[in-house]
Amino acid sequence: MKKVLLVNALWDAEAEAWVATSDDVPGLATEAQTWEQLMERLRGLVPELLEADGVHVDDDVPLEVLGRRFEVVGKLAT
């Protein structure tokens, strides 16, 4: 597989977790509390989901993971 698969990761402040989905990987919906944990999950899930969808994975799967996190910040009290 040579096509780079796009994964979108959004920070869910209420759940305090990264949530990842992808149009390129049918069925992908996972979450993790840290970016590192999310990447570890993706390394396992993406090949499994592709195989389940009938895509033969015999090589490394290139991923582009785009993260987005929205924060509201205020002036620090002095």
User: Which tens digits make up the pLDDT trace of 7-52?
Assistant: 999 999 999 999 999 999 999 999 999 999 999 999 999 999 999 9
CA 2 to chain centre: 19
For residue 58, the model assigns a pLDDT of 81
The CATH number assigned to the domain holding 51 equals: 3.30.2390.10
Q: Is residue 71 part of a domain?
A: no
| Secondary structure (DSSP) of 32-61 | ESSHHHHHHHHHHHHHHHHHHTT----S--
Q: Is residue 68 part of a domain?
A: no
Q: Is residue 31 part of a domain?
A: yes
Structural domain containing residue 9: 5-59
For residue 50, the model assigns a pLDDT of 94
| Whole-prediction pTM | 0.85
What's the number of domains the chain is made of?
A: 1
Q: Is residue 18 part of a domain?
A: yes
Q: Is residue 54 part of a domain?
A: yes
CB 24 within 8 A of CB 7: yes
Is the pLDDT reported for residue 77 higher than 70?
Answer: no
Give all strands of the β-sheet with 17-21 in edge-to-edge order: 29-32, 17-21, 5-12, 63-68
What is the mean pLDDT of the segment spanning 49-76? Answer: 90
